[in-house]
Amino acid sequence: MPRDVMKISISAATYRSVVVITCSSFLAAVLWGAVFRENMSGYSIAAALGFWALLASSFLIHNSYQNGKINSLRNFAEKQEFEIRWKNLMLDNTDEMFIVLNMYGQIVTFNQTFENLMGLPRSDLQGKPLRAVFMNEVYEENSNLSYVLLDRLRDVFLGKETLFTYSIRFKGTDRVVSINLSMRPVCNKGELQNILVSGRAVHSDRIVMKNLVGEAGRYCMDNNISDLYQLSHRLTRNLERWLPRAQIYLLQMALQEVLTNAVEHGNLEVDYDMKTELQQRKGNYWDILIKECNKDYLAARKVHISYSLDEEKVVYVVKDEGCGFEWRKYLEQEEEAGEGAFVRTFHGIGLQLVKNVFELSFGQNGSEITMVKYFQEHRHSA
């Protein structure tokens, strides 16, 4: 509370009445005492009157003190109300969603944008752990994402700011929202007090939706999983004019799979045994992978991505600087052994997804993969 709330002003009128009442009461008491000098009860009455005068004065002073307090508190509250009104105006009229978590990861407050984005009533969000909100029955389950979120939350609890992209797929609809999230620890005297989460849906804007005819881009990326994930969202965000969102989501996942493969099995030459060993360690597999394997001459290797989009198709070419990753072996393995071996190798989400989504071709001894998706079936009007 600011100190000025406690400042009390007693009005001149109150002062005057206190003085007048006190003086006149005492005068009356003294006169009474003088007239009935011989009569003790006269003195009693004078004393009673004097006491009454004191009481009345103290009452008036106290009352004035309290009124002052009430007025200044009321003014303060009114000022704050204005401030809150402006702040709500700003917070609720933006594309950016804001969430404040307490130190247990529970939602303390958020803005309207978050509510709208999640499609859930306020009461389903307030006080809930963020993870529980994202794992809500409204959305399709995705254990991979849950893992990412938990992992990033762990980073924030350790005091690190973290940026990542998170996709939510709404059950029974083709609505998919990719959100660029940032989580920032808010500390007081070195202790984590709150976590500020802010985010913004990744989507193509009006000019892209209406006017883009085609685009292309080339990127040269380090062995950085989080950057590659972000790139996968960037390189799929302008497809909305040509593909339904649920499809875009699949393309995203497939692209992520290929990009992480390029780092893991391509540039960093991790084989099945190595992967199994690393996965048994405590912590996030990808963090451990980069920490253990992104060293020396391997760390200088790049992932080269080229992307092009036109009215007919989208094409991604991903090339790593590894010795050639044995795609064929894995593909054959799958065909021979059925899903079992394959799924075990890639731990759930794998090359299969990529094959279902894109037309694939390989070059450079397997270190270059070209993925093409034609739009003819799903052509959307602008």
For its own copies, the binding residues (CB under 8 A) are 1, 5, 36, 39, 41-42, 44-45, 48-49, 51-52, 55-56, 59, 62-63, 66-67, 69-70, 73-74, 76-78, 80-81, 83-84, 86-91, 93-94, 96, 98, 100, 108-109, 111, 184, 186, 194, 196, 198, 207, 211-222, 227, 230-231, 234
Which residue's CB is nearer to its own copies, number 83 or number 339? 83
Q: Are the C-beta atoms of 94 and 111 separated by less than 8 Å? A: yes
Closest to 315 (Cα-Cα) out of 265, 382, 242, 266:
242
Which residue's CB is nearer to its own copies, number 174 or number 215? 215
Place of tokens 């391997």: 298
Q: How far is CA 284 from CA 101, 182, 281, 363, 364, in A?
A: 23, 19, 9, 32, 31
Which residue's CB is nearer to its own copies, number 5 or number 150? 5
Which residue's CB is nearer to its own copies, number 36 or number 374? 36
**Nearby residues of 160 by Cβ (< 8 Å), 6 or more positions away:** 185
Please state, in angstroms and rounded to a whole number, the distance separating the CA atoms of residues 268 and 295.
9
CB of 30 to its own copies, least distance (A): 16
CB of 271 to its own copies, least distance (A): 27
Closest to 199 (Cα-Cα) out of 130, 292, 136:
130
Which residue's CB is nearer to its own copies, number 212 or number 372? 212
Strands lying side by side in the sheet with 162-169? 107-110, 97-102, 191-201, 176-188, 162-169
Please state, as a whole number, how many other Cβ atoms lie within 10 Å of the Cβ of residue 125. 19
CB of 3 to its own copies, least distance (A): 13
Which residue's CB is nearer to its own copies, number 217 or number 338? 217
